[in-house]
Amino acid sequence: MRPFLIEECYEAVSANVALCEGKDGAAEMYCDELGDVLLQVFLNAAIAQESGLFTISDVFRAINEKMIRRHPHVFARNTSSAKTSDDVLVQWADIKKTEKGNQGEKPKSLMHKTSKKRILPTLAYGCEISKRTLEFGFQWTEMKDVFKDLESEVRELSEEVFKKNPDVKKIADEAGDVIYALCNVIAFLRERSEVGKHLDLDIAARNAFEKFTTRFSVMESIMLEQEDPLTEDRAKTLSLDEWNDLWKLAKQTLAKPKAP
C-alpha cells in the first residue's frame, strides 16, 4: 500500500496547488483527491486490523488525544502559560520531549531533529536539514552569500562535467552539492523573508516538470495541426533549431489569453 499512499498524497498536494492558483475545477479536484487520501487511511487501517495491530478507531482516538495533549493553549487555556506564538512553539517542543520520556537528556547530535524528516521527498528533506542549520547558526546571514555558494557549486559541477576524462562519481557528488546549495537558498528565503515563506522546492520542481510536459504536448498539437505528427521517428529528424522554434511557438501559444 505504501506507493499508493504516497501517490495519493502527492495528487492531493497537486490539487491543493491548483486550488491556490485559482484554476477552474480545482475545488472539485481537491475534494476528490482528499477523498482518495482518506480512503488510503481506511485501507491501511483495515489491513492493520486484519493483522491484529490496531483499528481505525484507534487511529481516531490517538490523533484526538495527541491534539489535545500537545495544544493546551487551545484545549486547556486556563492551565496553559503560553501567551504568544513563540511560547506555543516552546510549549509544544517540551510536551513532545515529555511524551518520549527523554526530557533532560542531551541530544546525540544537533541534527537529531532531522532524523524523522528522512521520510520526506528528497528535496523537502534537504530543505529541512538546511532549516535546522539556520536554527543554530551554521549558515550565512545574507542571501547574497547563500546564492554565491550556489553559483560556486554550479561552477564546480561544470568543471567536473567538462574535464577531458570526467569521473562519474565526482559528477554525482558535485551535482548533489548543487542540489543542497539550492535547498539552502529555498530554506533561507522561507525562514528569513516574508516573500518566500510558502516556498516548497519539491512542489516547485514538480511544477517545472509539469510545465515542460504541458509545453511539449502543445508542440505535438502544433505539429498535428500542420499535418506532420510528431512521432518518434519524425522527432529524430528535427534539427536543434527546429526544436527551438517549435518550443518558442508552444510558449507563445500558452501565453495567449484564453477566450472567455
Nearest to 36 by CA among 4, 3, 60: 4
Q: Hey, what amino acid is at 213?
A: T
**Residue 37, CA distances (Å) to 25, 32, 42, 124, 188 in order:** 19, 9, 9, 20, 31
What percent of the chain has a predicted confidence (pLDDT) above 90? 56
**Domains recognised in the chain with CATH numbers:** 1-64 (1.10.287.1080), 71-105 (no CATH), 204-255 (no CATH)
Mean pLDDT (whole number) for 224-232:
94
Residue 65, burial from CB neighbour count under 10 angstroms (0-12, 13-18, 19+): exposed
Residue 37, burial from CB neighbour count under 10 angstroms (0-12, 13-18, 19+): middle
Residue 99 pLDDT exceeds 70: no
Whole-number pLDDT of residue 260:
57
In this predicted model, what pLDDT tens digit does every residue of 13-71 receive, in sequence order?
889 988 988 989 999 999 999 999 999 999 999 999 999 999 999 999 999 998 888 78
Angle at 229 between CA 226 and CA 234, to 5 degrees: 120
Mean pLDDT (whole number) for 170-194:
94
In this predicted model, what pLDDT tens digit does every residue of 112-151 receive, in sequence order?
778 878 878 889 899 999 999 988 888 888 999 999 999 9
Mean pLDDT (whole number) for 230-253:
95
Rounded CA-CA distance 129/85 in Å is 23
Can you read off the three cell numbers belonging to residue 220?
Answer: 505535438
pTM over 0.85: no
Whole-number pLDDT of residue 83:
67
